Amino acid sequence: MSLKINWKRPLTYLLIPVALVLVFIGVMPPFPPSRPTKPGQEQSTPAEEQNRK
């Protein structure tokens, strides 16, 4: 029993919906874009106490 299967038609029916989805949502990268790093908080030196007399 030999089966002659034409693979062009099933592949077309599978790939057309995938292509339409990619067109409508846009082709997204497989990873999210990296966020810009926030600058570190400034470290201030402690103020010197003034001697009051």
> In angstroms, rounded to a whole number, what is the distance separating the alpha carbons of residues 20 and 18?
5
Q: Does the pTM exceed 0.75?
A: no
Average pLDDT across each block of 10 residues of the chain; the chain has 53 residues. List them in order: 69 85 74 74 75 62
What does the pLDDT read at residue 42? 78
* Distances in whole angstroms, Cα of residue 53 to Cα of each of 10, 20, 49, 50: 93, 81, 13, 10
Reading the block at residue 17, the tokens are 């919906």
What does the pLDDT read at residue 2? 66
Residue spans of the domains in the chain: they are: 7-49
Contacts of 1 (CB under 8 A, 6+ apart): none
> In angstroms, rounded to a whole number, what is the distance separating the alpha carbons of residues 42 and 17?
52
What does the pLDDT read at residue 9? 76
What does the pLDDT read at residue 48? 74
